[in-house]
Structure 1
Amino acid sequence: MGNRVAIVADRVGWEERRLIEAAPEFGLHIDWINDESLCLGDPRARSIEGYDALLVRSRSYTRGGLLATLAESTGVTALNSAAAINACENKLVLRAVLSAAGVPVPDYRLVLSRKDFEKALDELGLPVVLKPVYGGMGKRVTLIRDSDLAQSVYDYVEDLGHAFEQACLVEPYLGGGSIRCLVVGREIVAAAEFESAGADWRSNAALGNQSRALAHDPDVQKIVDAVVDRLGAGIYGVDLFKTPSGYLVNEVNHAPAWRGVASTTGVDIPSAVARHVQEVLA
């Protein structure tokens, strides 16, 4: 039957179904396991018994990182690694890690209070983008163009129930679109440029924005290589901003959706992922 792999996720989406369908061609048998039902901690946890690897695709970064950590502690391979997921789940940690490795990232300020927020506005100037340290898919990311609006927006931040929800980054608004590079192993298997659609200023694949295939760009390749050097080979969605001074890494997603990139580029991404899993387990 070949290697057994469990997709660990809170749902079976388009990407997960395509991976399950592609698996047999690469000597893999892939099952879905709900990430709410593993109850890990026992080294002999029955929920993952018999699996050679866990392909962690939880939409919750925190949940995915915890499960990958426990899987690796029992000797089961986690894709991506717990270290990579833990770096990606926190936007501040990711930027600090990449910046220390010489990877260009946008200017930013960590905001933990209204005093922080006001100082960040003074230092960066308007317009700025306010985004949660934890989160993805463009949610709670706010473009602030007006100083009066800024104070009202921060009223909502202060009313959030938990300190981790209130932790935010403020960064200059760079405008334009973004580039999503789908990385498998160490290679960019597909890349697309996304533009904001309609009245929504955000350029994010999860929002259904318009996109076009991106030709090979040595500058993009150099930055993605540096990201993978730091995080390790894996399956990533690397999001870049294009600026007059060059490309900047905005985010790295450890469990990327790729339906939009696949439809834009025509690349068989599920087969590329299955091949990578096969190579890791060989």
Structure 2
Amino acid sequence: MRLGFLYSRIRKDEQLLLEELRERGHDVVKIDVREPQFAIRERPEELEDLDLALNRCQESSRVRYVSMFCEHYDVPVVNGAAATATCADKVRGSLALEAADVPTPRTEVSFDVESALESIEAFGYPCVIKPVTGSWGRLLAKIDTRDAAEAVLEHKQTLGSYEHSVFYIQEFIEKPGRDIRVVAADGEPIAAMTRSAEHWITNAARGGEAKPFEVDEEVLDLVNRASDAVGGGLLGIDLMETKDGGYTVHEVNATCEFKALNDAVPETDVPARIVDWLETKAEVAE
């Protein structure tokens, strides 16, 4: 397989994938996406003669455009442009999950501070305000009082970016001190873990403790449906357990990290399983 490895930074996750690909003898073409010129009419030389492109950019803008250009140049890419764009925007993601009847936290979007305050008051305290783009639990705010709501909304409005004027407001789920991350390839789980912390944000990137999680039939069904809803691919699907014993899907990630998961599930070689799937995708694309 001749694989274009598209990146903007090489983290531990990318190192693990590169090591596995090279150990298997694949021809890996590393492409720093900051270097090529993505012409509308002509394919960059770096993207010539690829069996498959793997888009591992972290920045939400770059990752979306890179997949769009790959498809424009008829280069098979993981993940596809539709899935990447949907997952990179929490509003799009929520709409896709709702349309597929996947259970998610109650969510409202407002474009005005007063309207956002009305939503917050209707949800009750605490509730959560999230940026519409971003990862690693950054810029999330748990809102406990109206004073806090007014302050956070004012700060977001003053930041100036149009995305900060899209107020994405969600009910606060009383989870049992943990959430669940499932890495899945076209809806088939590769491995899963819980992420636990005393803080309400339990992301592994924020210090959450990772432990293996056994996927049950309900989680398997939700993962499969969530993957289909956003367009499939290599995804990190995040769920929370609810008080009634069920689950809610609160996010689907298109450029998912898996290094903490790989450490948490020693019986599963996560990068090897991912490369298994990439080999299958390349064969199908031929």
- Same fold by TM-score, threshold 0.5 exceeded? yes
Q: What's the TM-score, normalizing by structure 1?
A: 0.94
Distance 2:29 2:248 in 1: 37
Distance 2:85 2:164 in 1: 17
Q: Return closer, same or farther for 1:27/1:228 CA change in 2, 3 Å cut-off.
A: farther
Between 1:90-99 and 1:109-118, the stretch displaced more is 109-118
Between 1:99-108 and 1:162-171, the stretch displaced more is 162-171
The reply on whether 1:264 has 2:264 as its aligned counterpart is yes
**Residue 51 of structure 1: aligned partner:** 50
The reply on whether 1:251 has 2:259 as its aligned counterpart is no
**Residue 12 of structure 2: aligned partner:** 14
Distance 1:132 1:224 in 2: 23
Q: CA deviation at 1:96?
A: 0.6
**Residue 3 of structure 2: aligned partner:** 5
Alignment deviations for residues 168-204 of structure 1 (CA, whole Å, 9 cap, x no partner)? 311111133210001123311111111124xx32111
Distance 2:157 2:22 in 1: 50
**Residue 203 of structure 1: aligned partner:** 202
Corresponding letter in the other structure for 2:184:
V
Q: CA deviation at 1:21?
A: 0.9
**Residue 84 of structure 2: aligned partner:** 85
Corresponding letter in the other structure for 1:185:
D
Q: CA deviation at 1:151?
A: 1.1
3-state SS of 2:249 partner = strand
Corresponding letter in the other structure for 1:274:
V
Between 1:54-63 and 1:235-244, the stretch displaced more is 54-63
Distance 1:117 1:140 in 2: 17
Distance 2:231 2:120 in 1: 35
Aligned pairs, how many? 278
Q: Is the 8 A contact 2:83 2:232 kept in 1?
A: no
The reply on whether 1:227 has 2:265 as its aligned counterpart is no
**Residue 183 of structure 1: aligned partner:** 184
Corresponding letter in the other structure for 2:46:
S
Q: Is the 8 A contact 1:7 1:16 kept in 2?
A: no
Alignment deviations for residues 6-59 of structure 1 (CA, whole Å, 9 cap, x no partner)? 221211111111111111454522232112112212433112123222111111
Distance 1:258 1:175 in 2: 25
Alignment deviations for residues 197-233 of structure 1 (CA, whole Å, 9 cap, x no partner)? 4xx3211122121121111211100100111222344
Alignment deviations for residues 135-177 of structure 1 (CA, whole Å, 9 cap, x no partner)? 1111100111122121111121111112123213111111332
Between 1:57-66 and 1:80-89, the stretch displaced more is 57-66
Structure 2 unpaired stretches of 5+: none
Structure 1 unpaired stretches of 5+: none
Q: CA deviation at 1:110?
A: 0.4
Between 1:71-80 and 1:164-173, the stretch displaced more is 164-173
